[in-house]
C-alpha cells in the first residue's frame, strides 16, 4: 500500500458546462492507476457509479472497485476535505495519496486552491496539484468567445483536455481551437481525449516532478514561441487575456522580486491569471522556479540545474487586461539585482520605536 | 503558535516557505533568516518611501508598518503588507503606476 505523502496533492478537474468533465472522470475512475486516489464530485448520480460501487462508507462516501474513494461535496469543500483527511488518519478509508476534485462548470477554480492554502488544518496536509481543464472541441471556440469563465478555466490550467474531437467536423476547427488555447495558455500541456486516453497518470501524475522537468526542457519552457497579445477582435474580455514572457539576463534579486510580486498580486491578483517562471537568483547557482495562480503562489522550487547553456530568467505571464510593457518595466525597476540591494536607501519614515525595541 | 504571546500562526507565505526538500527558501538558518528579514525591510522601504511610510522589523517575528504621522500596524509577512499599506496610505499601492515605476527607476540609477 502506498505511503501517505506529507502533503497530499489536490488536483482540480474543471471545464465549462457540458465540456465532458464527468465523462472523462467516469473513464478515469475505472483506471487502476487512480486506485490510491480520493475523488470529490458534486453528486454520484451524474457519474453513474452504481455498477462500480462496492462499498458504501457513509452517506457521502463510497469505495470503488478500483480502490478509489469517492465522495460528494455537500456545502463546504473545506469540511469535506477535512472529513476525508480525518477518516484516512483513523483508517476508515484506504490511505489515498492524492485527491481529485471535480468542480462545477461555472465555478472559478481559484477559491478551491485558496481554501487549501488558508484552511488551518488543510494547509498542513494538502497542497495544490494540477489544474486539468476540459474544453469541448465542438463548442469550445464559441464558449471562449462568449464566457469569461471559460477563458479563465483555460488560462489557469496545467493540462488541457480537448474532448469530443471525434465529433468535430473536419480538422480546421480543431486546429483553430488548439491554436487559440495555445495563445491563451502557452504553458499548458494539451491532450486530445480519445476512448483510451489520456490516462490518469498523464493528468494527475507527479505534478511537481513534471513541472520542474518541463521547466528544464531544452527550451526551458514548453512554450517556445509565446504568443503575443491577442488582437482586439471581439468582446472586451476576450481581447484582454494575453500571455507574454519576460526574459532578463541580469540576475534577479530574490527579496526585491518577492516585494514586487506580492505588491502586484495584491493590486492585480485577479487579473494575473498565471505567473510561472524560472529565475536566475543573484547568489544562487541553481535556478528557482516560481508558480502562481491569481493571488496564490506555490512554494518556490529549487531546481537541480540550468538547461544546457541557458542561464537567464524567464517568466511567463497570463494576464487579463494588463499592459505587458508596463509590467516588464515595473519588473525591471523593482526586482533586478544590483538595484534593490546596493543602492542607497531613500529616506523612509522614521523607524518605529516602541518599548520592546532594543 | 507563539508560546510567548499566544498568537496562532497565520498563513505561511511563499516568501517565507518552510524548508522542505526541493523548496527554495531563505527561511533556514537563524542568521540567514534574520539577514533576509533585514534585506526585506530595506527593499520594502525603497517602495514605501513613495507613500510616506516605513517598515521595521519587530523582534524578528513581525514587522511594524508606520506612517510619518505615527499611524502604525503590525503585519506578519509580505502577504499582509500591501493591504495594510493601502489602508494606511488611503490610496492603492500599484506597482504598475507609471509615476511609481519612474521613481523606482530613478532611485536605482542614482
Segments in chain B below pLDDT 50: 1-7, 110
Average pLDDT over residues A21-35: 79
Which chain B residue's Cα is nearest to A347?
Answer: B49
Q: Where are the beta strands (DSSP E) in A215-336?
A: 241-248, 272-279, 288-293, 296-297, 301-302, 313-320
Domain of A266, in residue numbers: 236-335
**Cα distances (Å, whole numbers) of residue A289 to A62, A300, A305:** 38, 6, 11
Burial of A346 (0-12, 13-18, 19+ CB in 10 A): middle
ipTM of the complex: 0.90
Joined grid coordinates for residue A165: 474531437
Contact (Cβ atoms closer than 8 angstroms) between residue A51 and residue A60: no
Q: Does residue B48 fall inside a structural domain?
A: yes
Establish if A352 touches chain B: CB-CB under 8 angstroms. yes
Q: Does residue B28 fall inside a structural domain?
A: no
- The Cα A166–Cα A255 span in angstroms is 50
Q: Does residue A111 fall inside a structural domain?
A: yes
B17, B36, B48 member nearest A348 (Cβ): B48
- Average pLDDT of the residues of chain A: 75
Please judge whether A322 and B96 are an interchain contact, meaning their C-beta atoms are less than 8 angstroms apart: yes
| Residue A129 or A326, more confident | A326
Concatenated DSSP letters of A21-37: HHHHHHHHHT-GGGTTE
pLDDT tens sequence across A143-191: 887 777 787 788 888 888 888 888 877 788 888 888 888 878 877 888 8
Grid cell 543602492 is found at A343
| Residue A113 or B5, more confident | A113
Query: pLDDT > 90: what percent of chain A?
Result: 9
What pLDDT band is residue A77 in, cutting at 50, 70 and 90?
confident
Which chain B residue's Cα is nearest to A330?
Answer: B101
Interface test with A, best of B36, B104, B107 (most A CBs within 10 A): B104
Q: What angle (nearest 5°) sits at the alpha carbon of residue B76, between those of residues B75 and B82? A: 55
Q: Does residue A35 fall inside a structural domain?
A: yes
CATH number at residue A111: 3.40.50.300
Contact (Cβ atoms closer than 8 angstroms) between residue A274 and residue A329: no
Span of A6-15, A92-101, A202-211, B64-73 with lowest mean pLDDT: A202-211
Please report the pLDDT score of residue A331 as a whole number.
Answer: 94
What pLDDT band is residue A256 in, cutting at 50, 70 and 90?
very high
| Residue A213 or B60, more confident | B60
Please report the pLDDT score of residue A73 as a whole number.
Answer: 65
**Cα distances (Å, whole numbers) of residue B107 to A175, A335, B101:** 48, 13, 10
Q: Does residue A39 fall inside a structural domain?
A: yes
Residue A357 in this model has a pLDDT that exceeds 50: no
Q: Do A150 and A257 sit in the same domain of this protein?
A: no
Sheet of B72-75: strand order equals B53-58, B62-67, B72-75
Determine if the peptide bond prior to A85 is cis (ω within 30°).
Answer: no
Q: Does residue A60 fall inside a structural domain?
A: yes
Please report the pLDDT score of residue A257 as a whole number.
Answer: 94
Give chain A's domain count: 2
What pLDDT band is residue A44 in, cutting at 50, 70 and 90?
low
Average pLDDT over residues A215-226: 37
How many Cβ atoms from other residues are within 10 Å of residue A22's Cβ? 20
Please judge whether A349 and B52 are an interchain contact, meaning their C-beta atoms are less than 8 angstroms apart: yes
Give chain B's domain count: 1
Establish if B46 touches chain A: CB-CB under 8 angstroms. yes
Residue B41, min C-alpha distance to chain A (Å): 9
Instruction: Provide the β-strand partners of residue B23.
Output: A301
Q: Does residue B42 fall inside a structural domain?
A: yes
Domain of B56, in residue numbers: 38-109
pLDDT tens sequence across A333-348: 998 876 544 444 444 4
Q: Do A92 and A194 sit in the same domain of this protein?
A: yes
Q: Do A81 and A192 sit in the same domain of this protein?
A: yes
Please report the pLDDT score of residue B109 as a whole number.
Answer: 57
Q: Does residue A353 fall inside a structural domain?
A: no
Grid cell 520605536 is found at A353
Amino acid at each position: 500500500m502506498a505511503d501517505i505523502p506529507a502533503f497530499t496533492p489536490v488536483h482540480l478537474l474543471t471545464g465549462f458546462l457540458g465540456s465532458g468533465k464527468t465523462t472523462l472522470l467516469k473513464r478515469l475512475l475505472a483506471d487502476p492507476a487512480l486506485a490510491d486516489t480520493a475523488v470529490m464530485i458534486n453528486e454520484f448520480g451524474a457519474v453513474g457509479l452504481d455498477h462500480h460501487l462496492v462499498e458504501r462508507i457513509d452517506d457521502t462516501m463510497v469505495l470503488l472497485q478500483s480502490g478509489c474513494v469517492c465522495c460528494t461535496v455537500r456545502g463546504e469543500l473545506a469540511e469535506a476535505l477535512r472529513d476525508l483527511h480525518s477518516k484516512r488518519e483513523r483508517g476508515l478509508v484506504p490511505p489515498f495519496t492524492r485527491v481529485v476534485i471535480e468542480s462545477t462548470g461555472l465555478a472559478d477554480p481559484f477559491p478551491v486552491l485558496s481554501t487549501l492554502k488558508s484552511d488551518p488544518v488543510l494547509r498542513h496536509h494538502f497542497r495544490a496539484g494540477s489544474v486539468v481543464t476540459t474544453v469541448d472541441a465542438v463548442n469550445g471556440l464559441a464558449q471562449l468567445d462568449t464566457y469569461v469563465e471559460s477563458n479563465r478555466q483555460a488560462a489557469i490550467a496545467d493540462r488541457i483536455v480537448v474532448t469530443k474531437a471525434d465529433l468535430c467536423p473536419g480538422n480546421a476547427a480543431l486546429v483553430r481551437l488548439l491554436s487559440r488555447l495555445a495563445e491563451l495558455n502557452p504553458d499548458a500541456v494539451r491532450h486530445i481525449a480519445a476512448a483510451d486516453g489520456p490516462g490518469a497518470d498523464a493528468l494527475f501524475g507527479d505534478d511537481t516532478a513534471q513541472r520542474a522537468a518541463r521547466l528544464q526542457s531544452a527550451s526551458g519552457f514548453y512554450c517556445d514561441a509565446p504568443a503575443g497579445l491577442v488582437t482586439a477582435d471581439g468582446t472586451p474580455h476576450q481581447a484582454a487575456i494575453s500571455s507574454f514572457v519576460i526574459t532578463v539576463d541580469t540576475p534577479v534579486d530574490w527579496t526585491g522580486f518577492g516585494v514586487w510580486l506580492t505588491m502586484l498580486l495584491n493590486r492585480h491578483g485577479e487579473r494575473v491569471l498565471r505567473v510561472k517562471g524560472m529565475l536566475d537568483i543573484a547568489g544562487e547557482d541553481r535556478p528557482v522556479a516560481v508558480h502562481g495562480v491569481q493571488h496564490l503562489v506555490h512554494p518556490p522550487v529549487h531546481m537541480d540545474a540550468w538547461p544546457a547553456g541557458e542561464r537567464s530568467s524567464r517568466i511567463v505571464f497570463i494576464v487579463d487586461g494588463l499592459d505587458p510593457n508596463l509590467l516588464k518595466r515595473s519588473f525591471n525597476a523593482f526586482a533586478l539585482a544590483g538595484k534593490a540591494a546596493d543602492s542607497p536607501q531613500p529616506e523612509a519614515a522614521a523607524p518605529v520605536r516602541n518599548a520592546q525595541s532594543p | 503558535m507563539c508560546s510567548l504571546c499566544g498568537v496562532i500562526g497565520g498563513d505561511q507565505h511563499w516568501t517565507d516557505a518552510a524548508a522542505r526538500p526541493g523548496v527554495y527558501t531563505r527561511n533556514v538558518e537563524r542568521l540567514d533568516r534574520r539577514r533576509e528579514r533585514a534585506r526585506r525591510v530595506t527593499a520594502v522601504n525603497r517602495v514605501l518611501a513613495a507613500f510616506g511610510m516605513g517598515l521595521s522589523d519587530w523582534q524578528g517575528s513581525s514587522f511594524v508598518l508606520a506612517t510619518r504621522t505615527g499611524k502604525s500596524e503590525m503585519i506578519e509577512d509580505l502577504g499582509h503588507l500591501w493591504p495594510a499599506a493601502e489602508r494606511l496610505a488611503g490610496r492603492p499601492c500599484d506597482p504598475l503606476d507609471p509615476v511609481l515605476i519612474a521613481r523606482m527607476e530613478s532611485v536605482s540609477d542614482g
